[in-house]
Structure 1
Amino acid sequence: MKFLFVTLALLGIVAALLPGSGEGLPHADKLLHAGALFGFALLLDLATTRSFWRWQVPILLSYGAFIEIAQAFTPWRSFSVADFVADATGILLYWLLWRLALQRIVPHAND
């Protein structure tokens, strides 16, 4: 699972730095950001037993920040705080959905 996470994260960086068409639905890129980080949160959570909030979230947020900073250095992409917020939203949505699913499967998991 770690290999899959790293491979997809590297492919994500490449995709994020390629020129984009800029066309499509309004705010579709925000959905892509949230969906991608939701997926990365899932993969990282499956790949490690380390603390979600103390270890995984900082790694995932750093990944999102790195992409935004790297995009600032390309002529066809730009730095966007809104994209970073969408990344954080994807991570939070993963955590919330996981919590809800866990509580349904194991009702006393938080006791």
Structure 2
Amino acid sequence: MNAAKLLFAVTLLAVTLLAFIPTYEPLPEIVSFSDILNHFAAFFTLYMLHLFAYPAFSWRRRSALLLGYGVLIEAVQAFLPNRYASLSDVAVDAAALTAAMLLHLLVYRLRARRA
């Protein structure tokens, strides 16, 4: 296993553990800035790491897999004590994946112009 695949796997495991550990807030916040930032950072990072670990994947396949992972997290959280599912979290995940994809496309095009 190369370093990029290992780093992706470790990051995926860390995000999964953080998503499933119980929280101890008395009531869930509907939308908090830190939650938005956490989701955005996690899924942006996962996209970029997956890009280096599995470069043969198309952006569609990569995005679909990672968004499916985000939906799975929310589905599991619906059944965990002290956790709750949120469509807004999935929307932030999708926004992060889109931002990462657009950054990748921009870098790709800039590199192609130089060549």
Normalised by the length of structure 2, the TM-score is: 0.82
Percent same amino acid among aligned pairs? 31
Which residue in the other structure is 1:84 paired with?
90
Please tell me whether residue 42 in structure 1 is matched to residue 48 in structure 2.
yes
Runs of 4+ in structure 1 deviating by more than 4 angstroms, as ranges, are: none
Distance 1:42 1:27, change over 3 A: same
Aligned Cα root-mean-square deviation (Å) = 2.1
Which residue in the other structure is 2:12 paired with?
9
Which residue in the other structure is 2:58 paired with?
51
Q: What amino acid maps onto 1:85 in structure 2?
A: A
1:21 CA drift (Å)? 5.4
Distance 1:71 1:20 in 2: 11
1:60 CA drift (Å)? 0.2
Please tell me whether residue 100 in structure 1 is matched to residue 103 in structure 2.
no
Distance 2:57 2:102 in 1: 18
Distance 2:49 2:24 in 1: 28
| 8 A Cα contact 2:20 2:77, kept in partner | yes
Matched residue SS, 1:20: coil
1:108 CA drift (Å)? 7.6
Distance 1:36 1:21 in 2: 21
Distance 1:26 1:81 in 2: 14
| 8 A Cα contact 2:24 2:82, kept in partner | no
Number of residue pairs matched by the alignment: 107
Structure 1, unaligned runs of 5 or more: none
Distance 2:96 2:112 in 1: 24
Structure 2, unaligned runs of 5 or more: none
